[in-house]
Amino acid sequence: MRSSAFKLFRIRGGVHPEGRKQDTCGQPIRELPMPALLRIPLQQHIGAPAQPEVRRGDRVLKGQLLATSQGLISAPVHAPTSGVIKSIGKFPAPHASGLPVRTITLEPDGEDRWIDLDPQATPLHLEPDDIAERVAAAGIVGMGGATFPSAVKLGLRERFELHTLVINAAECEPYLTCDDRLMRERAHEIIDGIRITLHGLQVNKALVAIENNKPEAIAAMTEAARAFDEITIVAVPVRYPMGSEKHLVQTLTGKETPARSLTADIGIVVHNVATVRAIGEAVRFGRPLISRVVTVGGGAVHEPGNLQVPIGAPVEALIEACGGLREEPAKLLSGGPMMGQPLPELRVPVVKGTSGILALTTAEVASKPTMPCIRCASCVDVCPCGLLPLEMANRARNADLQGAADFGLMDCVSCGSCSYVCPAHIPLVQYFNYAKGALVEQQRAKHKQEETKRLAAARAERMERLAAAKREAMAKRKAEMAAKKAREAEAAQAAEADDAATEPTDAPVNKLAEPQVGT
């Protein structure tokens, strides 16, 4: 069902970057030809890296488990196609640092043969816990870019009183159209995923928020959701950062998520639209998350488009499939231009959170030399979090971390709206990221120092107590010895004097039981 009269609420600030989606939004999703090698990092999610379950030389089938999840917040990794494990080693991460991370290299055998799957014809009859378990086993993480393990979010119902599932299909980043295409082409699968997720959360209301600039997607989704009263398709205004979880929830409900809390605190769980489709695939068909839709765009790419890509495909294969590069890009990005990460090189693999690969030209990046701040307050006007970016940046630049924190640094969502409008081209987000990292580091160091201090003090106290006990025991023994001697002398005297009078001794002989060692 689509509600045209759905009441929306205004969020503070925000910007209207040029959408630049027209190059790719009209193009159907194409299958990427299977690359010669897939490099599958073991950590494609927030949390602990997965632990390999295969060895070099193993033959694996499509969908086979390659590495298991470790701990509560983690996700397993599966083979995107059938083939041979060539190595388990280190390979540059698809991250600005390009640091090597543990990676399984798989050589596809070209057969693309599935492992035996465990489909579930009636997923809505499963226990909610079974759904969470299947989602966890399928290695599903937030596909909007946050890559938080989805099963953990399904488990939120145990801790919070939930009432609404919000599907984030805003896709507010410029260039990206992968969610748009997915909604146009796979609306029924998405709706199925939403129904399964609703059941898994034991919630009976879902709101699918799509920005107004995607009328075809809104139409397709509305059509697919027609039969389900519990699902409402809501067209939301085009304004970056509409896709920020907490701001989207505010747009839909008018409620702000309290600082340092989850949206679950106000009864709402948010999942990305591609993620719920993956949940549907995993629960109904038993298919793990082994591929995703990626937008390949930017002015430096010959034929921008959307590709269905196996996890682990190298970025260069995607660009090649899109006609190659027109020119040397000024920036190569993973994700959108507002919050995406610069990529160090073309060999790095696509991971579960890669929504786009952008090769931007100098004109598109529109970078200019930084000038001094003129306090124009553009950043204050556009900040969706009600912060004073100019004051925070000022302090961060002078390494006054506490000052920046006092101005609300930790409430910043790094959406980049401030940097986007700054007429002085000050890299505000860079300052904030630096300060956040340094602050966390500082707190960690402080915590460590305090712990060390506490432990050292406890140890000193313990040692002191032991020494005191020892001294006491020694003194006692001495006293006893003296007493014994005295007694013996007395006894001798008494024997001599033939006088048998007994005197009380003062303590038992037990010494080591006295001091109690504790904290």
Partner 1 sequence: MSQGDLRAGPFTHEKSSIARTMMLVMLALLPATAFGFYQFGWPALFLWLSTIGAAVATEAVCLRIAGKPIRPFVLDGSALLTAWLLAMTLPPWAPWWIGVVGGIVAILIGKQVFGGLGQNLFNPAMVARVVLLISFPLEMTTWVSPKPLFSAEAPDFLSALAITFGGGLDIDSMSSASILGHVKTELGRNADLAGALAGSYDPIGLLVGTVPGSLGETSALLLLGGGLFLLAMRIISWHIPLAMLGSLALCATLFNLIDPAHYPNALYHVLSGGALLGAFFIATDPVTSPVTVRGQLLFGALLGLLVYVIRTWASFPEGVAFAVMLANGLTPLIDHYLRPRIYGRTRKGQPISYAETQEGGNG
Q: Select the span of 41-49, 129-137, 423-431, 488-496 touching partner 1 (CB under 8 A).
A: 423-431
DSSP state of 284: I
Residues 25-44 that bind partner 1 (CB under 8 A): none
By CB under 8 A, is residue 386 in contact with partner 1? yes
By CB under 8 A, is residue 255 in contact with partner 1? yes
Binding residue (CB under 8 A) for partner 1 from 10, 59, 226, 425: 425
By CB under 8 A, is residue 320 in contact with partner 1? no
Residues 453-492 that bind partner 1 (CB under 8 A): none
By CB under 8 A, is residue 316 in contact with partner 1? no
Residues 396-415 that bind partner 1 (CB under 8 A): 408, 411, 414
Residues 490-509 that bind partner 1 (CB under 8 A): none
- The count of other CB atoms within 10 Å of the CB of residue 455 is 11
Nearest to 344 by CA among 101, 103, 96: 96
Q: Which is nearer to partner 1, 20 or 186 (CB)?
A: 20
Residue type, 365: V
Smallest distance from the beta carbon of 360 to partner 1, in angstroms? 6
Q: Which is nearer to partner 1, 194 or 382 (CB)?
A: 382
CA 121 to chain CA centroid, nearest Å = 31
Smallest distance from the beta carbon of 340 to partner 1, in angstroms? 6
- Is the CB of residue 58 less than 8 Å from the CB of residue 84? yes
Alpha-carbon gap, residue 118 to 131, rounded angstroms: 13
By CB under 8 A, is residue 380 in contact with partner 1? yes
DSSP output for 191-204: HHHHHHHHHHHT--
Binding residue (CB under 8 A) for partner 1 from 256, 316, 480, 490: 256
Q: Which is nearer to partner 1, 237 or 342 (CB)?
A: 342
Q: Select the span of 330-338, 397-405, 482-490, 506-514 touching partner 1 (CB under 8 A).
A: 330-338
Identify each DSSP E strand in 206-299 by its residue range.
206-211, 231-236, 268-272, 291-297
Residues 176-235 that bind partner 1 (CB under 8 A): none
By CB under 8 A, is residue 360 in contact with partner 1? yes
Q: Which is nearer to partner 1, 11 or 289 (CB)?
A: 11
Residues 87-116 that bind partner 1 (CB under 8 A): 96-97
By CB under 8 A, is residue 343 in contact with partner 1? yes
Q: Select the span of 57-65, 152-160, 417-425, 489-497 touching partner 1 (CB under 8 A).
A: 417-425
Alpha-carbon gap, residue 473 to 465, rounded angstroms: 12
Smallest distance from the beta carbon of 101 to partner 1, in angstroms? 17
By CB under 8 A, is residue 375 in contact with partner 1? yes
Alpha-carbon gap, residue 141 to 275, rounded angstroms: 7
Binding residue (CB under 8 A) for partner 1 from 28, 57, 71, 372: 372
The residues that bridge with 341 in the sheet, in sequence order, are 334
By CB under 8 A, is residue 438 in contact with partner 1? no
301 φ/ψ sector (left φ>0, alpha ψ -120 to 50, else beta): beta
By CB under 8 A, is residue 441 in contact with partner 1? no
Helix (H) or strand (E) run with residue 24 in it? helix 22-25
Q: Which is nearer to partner 1, 68 or 430 (CB)?
A: 430
- Is the CB of residue 498 less than 8 Å from the CB of residue 467? no
What is the token pair recorded at 348? 């790095």
By CB under 8 A, is residue 242 in contact with partner 1? no
- The count of other CB atoms within 10 Å of the CB of residue 293 is 24
Q: Which is nearer to partner 1, 323 or 423 (CB)?
A: 423
Nearest to 15 by CA among 329, 396, 339, 254: 339
The residues that bridge with 15 in the sheet, in sequence order, are 240
By CB under 8 A, is residue 330 in contact with partner 1? yes
Alpha-carbon gap, residue 75 to 139, rounded angstroms: 5
Nearest to 417 by CA among 428, 404, 409, 431: 428
Binding residue (CB under 8 A) for partner 1 from 72, 371, 456, 460: 371
By CB under 8 A, is residue 264 in contact with partner 1? no
Smallest distance from the beta carbon of 10 to partner 1, in angstroms? 12
Alpha-carbon gap, residue 94 to 314, rounded angstroms: 10
Identify each DSSP E strand in 38-174 by its residue range.
38-41, 51-52, 59-60, 65-68, 77-78, 83-92, 100-108, 164-169
Residue 35 exposure: Cα atoms within 13 Å on the Cβ side: 26
Smallest distance from the beta carbon of 367 to partner 1, in angstroms? 7
Binding residue (CB under 8 A) for partner 1 from 10, 12, 459, 485: 12
By CB under 8 A, is residue 374 in contact with partner 1? yes
By CB under 8 A, is residue 315 in contact with partner 1? no
Alpha-carbon gap, residue 519 to 142, rounded angstroms: 44
Q: Which is nearer to partner 1, 128 or 267 (CB)?
A: 267
By CB under 8 A, is residue 268 in contact with partner 1? no
- Is the CB of residue 63 less than 8 Å from the CB of residue 115? yes
Binding residue (CB under 8 A) for partner 1 from 92, 288, 297, 416: 416
CA 57 to chain CA centroid, nearest Å = 32
Alpha-carbon gap, residue 292 to 377, rounded angstroms: 40
